Structure 1
Amino acid sequence: MMPNYKPNPDDRSDNVEKLQSIVQNTLENIEEAEETLRYADEEERERIQAKNARREESIQSLREEIRDEATDRESGFRNNDEK
């Protein structure tokens, strides 16, 4: 007999805050990486700059997701278990 598993409800109530925290952490990582540039050789400098460019792209995507989540929150989204 198969156990009866119930999926966890989709709790989106704090998504905006979680995403904002991720953006803040990523910005801090960019700043820390920028500080290490002065000590890096050319190869390491290129790696750091490439990684920071990817981080900037991620931040843009996260900010779009924050806007979407905020809009959904304002329009009164419902959790899947409330449907």
Structure 2
Amino acid sequence: MAHNRPNPDDRSDNVEKLQDMVQNTIENIEKAHETMQFSSPEERANIEAKNERREEAIAAMRAEMKDEAAAREHGYQ
């Protein structure tokens, strides 16, 4: 029986991971905008709502990036 041990907390690349996530989310928003021109009004409304949630997620990821960058400057391990 394997023992499940948690992985050590490696925050060294969190800022970079978050930046990649922000970039991917921005690309998804752009792709969704392109799709909207071929969508029905109902689909368009759904896409707009999803893009609003994506914008909120980007804001949260950017705030977390600031926190991680500050933690990095203060020498977390």
TM-score, length-scaled by structure 2? 0.93
Partner in structure 2 of residue 63 of structure 1? 62
1:5 to partner: Cα distance: 4.9
Match of 2:33? 34
For residues 5-49 of structure 1, the C-alpha deviation after alignment (integer angstroms, 9 at most, x for no partner) is 543210000000000000000000000000111111100000000
Report whether the alignment pairs 1:11 with 2:10: yes
Q: Is the alpha carbon distance of 1:75 and 1:46 closer, same or farther for their aligned partners in structure 2, counting shifts above 3 Å?
A: same
Higher-Rg structure is 1
Residues 43 and 6 (structure 1), Cα distance of their counterparts in 2 relative to 1, 3 Å cut: closer
Runs of at least 4 residues off by over 3 Å? 2-6
TM-score with structure 1 length normalisation? 0.86
The two structures, once aligned, show a CA RMSD in angstroms of 1.4
Give the match for residue 73 of structure 2: 74
Q: Once the two structures are aligned, what percentage of the paired residues are identical?
A: 60
Number of equivalences: 77
Offset of 1:4 from its aligned partner?
A: 5.6
d(CA) in 2 for partners of 1:55, 1:37? 16
Q: For residues 4 and 38 of structure 1, what CA distance do their matches in structure 2 show?
A: 52
